[in-house]
Structure 1
Amino acid sequence: MINPIEAQNKKRILLVDDHALMRAGIRALLDEIGDFDVIGESGNGIEALELVRKFVPDLLLLDISLPGLNGLEVLRQIGQQYPDVRVLMLSMHAGSEYVARALSFGASGYLLKDSAFDELAAALHAIACGRDYLCAAIDTETVQRFIHSAQQGQSEQEILTPRQRQILQQIAEGFGPRDIAESLNVSVKTVEAHRAQLMERLGIHHVPGLVRFAIRIGLVSPDL
């Protein structure tokens, strides 16, 4: 039987990763630790935002590469709307530019996916206690050099609305207007109107240019 006092002391956490096996492994680890209560999980960035709004967790374990809305954009919106939610980024991307952008958007920690489960536990405990955490494999000096450029990329994103960033990401991922409309539950005409507004606002008049812009500001990985 669970002690009510112990249940109250557990940190409420959401798991967001597009690989179900990864989420299952993390769940198993958290069950073993016993200090965290998994209140939900998702493999989609848009759904992740909805879950945060619904549950307002203490902690969010967040991947960067997500369909619908990438983890950095999810992090950015959470930082604006729910600054008390502590976020640990869990990613395969070791590049200092990703780490710098995550920190500039308000992440409390950054951990690589090939880290040992013991380090994941240490990172979550640190963040739950109000401390920041960076994976031991990350070159912190190089990250600091990328902070300025990450902040510049952030200012570039400010000229776009959240909906425009969602649509820009999906365009860059190769989805057509019909697919985007279905995923966002809007009409194809609405998507096409947003795309036209994007091109006008950015001064970009073709899709390859939009893709390059999305890569530059970190909405999608150049590996796509």
Structure 2
Amino acid sequence: MIRVMVVDDHNLVRQGIEAILEKAHDMELVGSAEDGQQALDVMARVPADVVVADIAMPRLNGIQMMRGMAKSGSQARVVILSMYSDETLVRQALKCGACGYLLKSSVTEELLLAVRAAYRGKVYISPEVSRAVLDDFPTASSGGSNFAERLTSREGQVLQLVAEGHSNTEIGNILSLSAKTVEKHRATMMKKLGASDLPSLIRIAMKHRLIFPED
């Protein structure tokens, strides 16, 4: 049986995915989570073979979750199920180790195919995703303007929470940091991304898909 976890911040979407997986004869739903951080916490206790995850989530998005999985040594494979199809995001996901990328408009059978492919160590990309992304992917990291790589995992977490409107104190409480440390992270991120103030930091981060608007 393929042990599968579902990660999505929208209850109805998550429950719908779970219902599809539970009907598959060769899959077992072993866990679910509302965001990337919760997913990492669950994975530390419950082993999963494949994780079906959204990208745009609060606290820790799908890209950041995959980086956290790599850091923790998780062997679970990830299939991204997202409403976003732009090349930058697909490349980021593949580079972080995603074994599949589907749009939320995909049909049920396509999701099951992607999960089975990921379990076998194969990569499944939705036909709806631009072919140019796959053609260009091997050389996509050759340039020096990959904004995602400029930030550490912790900075990415802080950035996501800043974009959600949390204060330094609130972010500190969520991430177990002092407000002063959070402020230092904000200053470092502004310098790394060339932002002059908080609004420009958010604009740059959204442009380069480092954070996501509420969907």
**Band of TM-score, shorter chain:** 0.7 to 0.9
Aligned partners of 1:121, 1:31: CA distance in 2, in Å? 11
Q: When you count helix as a share of all residues, which structure comes out higher?
A: 1
1:119 corresponds to which of 107, 110, 113: 110
2:5 and 2:29 in contact (8 A); partners too: yes
Counterpart mapping for 1:166-181 below 5 A: 166-181=157-172
2:190 corresponds to which of 171, 181, 199: 199
Change (3 A) 1:223 1:44: closer
Change (3 A) 1:54 1:153: farther
* Normalised TM-score (structure 2): 0.86
SS of the residue corresponding to residue 191 of structure 1 reads helix
Are residue 52 (structure 1) and residue 32 (structure 2) matched?
A: no
Match of 1:94 in 2: 85
1:70 and 1:219 in contact (8 A); partners too: no
Query: How far did 1:106 drift?
Result: 0.9
1:169 and 1:214 in contact (8 A); partners too: no
2:24 corresponds to which of 30, 33, 54: 33
Are residue 78 (structure 1) and residue 69 (structure 2) matched?
A: yes
1:12 and 1:58 in contact (8 A); partners too: yes
Are residue 65 (structure 1) and residue 56 (structure 2) matched?
A: yes
User: Which stretch shows the higher mean deviation, 109-118 or 161-170?
Assistant: 161-170
SS of the residue corresponding to residue 110 of structure 1 reads strand
SS of the residue corresponding to residue 54 of structure 1 reads coil
Match of 1:4 in 2: none
1:59 and 1:86 in contact (8 A); partners too: yes
Match of 1:133 in 2: 124
Query: How far did 1:32 drift?
Result: 1.1
Match of 2:3 in 1: 12
Q: Partner amino acid for 1:26?
A: I
SS of the residue corresponding to residue 169 of structure 2 reads helix
Q: Partner amino acid for 1:27?
A: E
1:126 and 1:133 in contact (8 A); partners too: yes
1:103 corresponds to which of 88, 94, 101: 94
RMSD of Structure 2 on Structure 1 (CA): 2.6
Are residue 218 (structure 1) and residue 209 (structure 2) matched?
A: yes
